[in-house]
């Protein structure tokens, strides 16, 4: 049986910026401590929500290094190191391994894309050249690439490929993947509105955007299911469904950063090409946050 990186709710954490759009390390430290205090089970740094795509190589590595130092082994730290350039994905993964991450998150190749056979080669090439466990990241709405269940089965044969963050929204495909891969591949929901449904098919939890604004809630949805309180997990999932949805009123992480700013967390704006949300969407998000007592 392969190593399980974590169970429960890991936060796909934002990267806070100063007004001049530099990484705000002091604020990041505050957020990390708050996440740990509110029972978040893992930190995913420099992923999609962390705007890894617009961080320079130096910023990326320094942000990961800082996170590892602050967390200090209290919970796992997983670094986003995926790329559509396989060689660069290896290079970035190796750099993040050097600063002490517990695992790597590797998104499918975007823009240039690849075939299913290419996915197998891409991931095996990376896994042969790293030592940390790898969590795949399947998000076809952003990448234009979808990992099929049969491809998951092939990829899961590699000993260092241990899990996937699945965000294709296809529960039927998840069932097939689970049937094919079994314990060879852990699954995390990549969508906050599917935590309970994914866990009913054996997922270990979620890599969550919701956790940025409601870490205890995301933790409890997963924890209740793991403890056998399936009804409690379902009810909490349904109660916060509107917030899960409204955190995607605009391209992620625009809305979640806006929500955090409305809550007084001062995480700054997103870097271009991501741009602030409309006043109408902002008011809708604000009303949802107020309904749940978050502002």
Catalytic residues: 137, 165
Torsion over CA of 190, 252, 215 and 182, rounded to 10 degrees?
10
Three-state SS at 121: helix
Average pLDDT in the 261-284 region?
Answer: 97
So what's the pLDDT on residue 245? 98
pLDDT at residue 278 is higher than 80:
yes
Q: Which residues contact 231 (CB under 8 A, 6 or more apart)?
A: none
Where b means 16+ CB within 10 Å and e means fewer, 116-134 reads: eebbbebbbebbeebebbb
First-last CA distance in the chain: 44
So what's the pLDDT on residue 2? 86
Cross-strand bridge partners of residue 17 = 23
* CATH number of 8-231, picked from 2.160.10.10, 3.30.950.10, 3.40.50.1100, 3.20.20.70: 3.20.20.70
Angle at 188 between CA 195 and CA 225, to 5 degrees: 45
Split at pLDDT 50, 70, 90, the class of 22 is: very high
Domain boundaries, the chain: 8-231
Judging by DSSP bridges, how do beta strands 186-189 and 205-208 pair with one another? parallel
CB 218 within 8 A of CB 184: no
pTM: 0.96
- pLDDT tens for 204-254 read 999 999 999 999 999 999 999 999 999 999 999 999 999 999 999 999 999
- pLDDT tens for 24-61 read 999 999 999 999 999 999 999 999 999 999 999 999 99
Q: Which helix (H) or strand (E) holds 161?
A: strand 161-166
Q: How far apart are CA 210 and CA 68, in angstroms?
A: 22
So what's the pLDDT on residue 34? 98
Q: Could you give phi then psi for residue 272, rounded to 5 degrees?
A: -60, 145
């Amino acid at each position: 049986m392969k190593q399980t990186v974590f169970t429960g709710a890991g936060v796909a954490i934002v990267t806070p910026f100063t007004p001049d759009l530099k990484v705000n390390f002091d604020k990041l430290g505050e957020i990390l401590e708050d996440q740990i205090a509110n029972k978040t089970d893992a930190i995913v740094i420099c992923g999609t929500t962390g705007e890894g795509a617009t961080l320079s190589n130096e910023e990326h590595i320094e942000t990961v290094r800082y996170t590892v130092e602050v967390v200090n082994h209290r919970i796992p730290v997983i670094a986003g190191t995926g790329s559509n350039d396989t060689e660069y994905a290896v290079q970035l993964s190796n750099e993040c391994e050097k600063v002490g991450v517990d695992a790597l998150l590797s998104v499918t190749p975007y823009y240039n894309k690849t075939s299913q056979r290419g996915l197998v080669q891409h991931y095996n090439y990376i896994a042969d050249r790293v030592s940390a466990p790898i969590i795949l990241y399947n998000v076809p709405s952003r990448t234009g690439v979808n990992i099929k269940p049969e491809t998951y089965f092939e990829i899961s044969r590699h000993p260092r490929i241990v899990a996937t963050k699945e965000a294709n929204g296809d529960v039927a495909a998840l069932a097939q993947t689970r049937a094919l891969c079994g314990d060879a591949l852990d699954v995390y929901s990549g969508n906050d509105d599917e935590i309970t449904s994914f866990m009913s098919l054996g997922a270990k939890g979620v890599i969550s955007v919701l956790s940025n604004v409601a870490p205890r809630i995301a933790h409890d949805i997963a924890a209740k299911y793991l403890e056998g309180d399936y009804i409690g997990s379902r009810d909490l999932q349904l109660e916060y469904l509107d917030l899960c949805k409204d955190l995607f009123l605009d391209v992620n992480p625009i809305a979640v950063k806006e929500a955090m700013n409305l809550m007084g967390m001062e995480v700054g704006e997103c870097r271009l090409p991501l741009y602030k949300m409309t006043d109408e969407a902002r008011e809708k998000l604000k009303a949802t946050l107020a309904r749940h007592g978050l502002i």
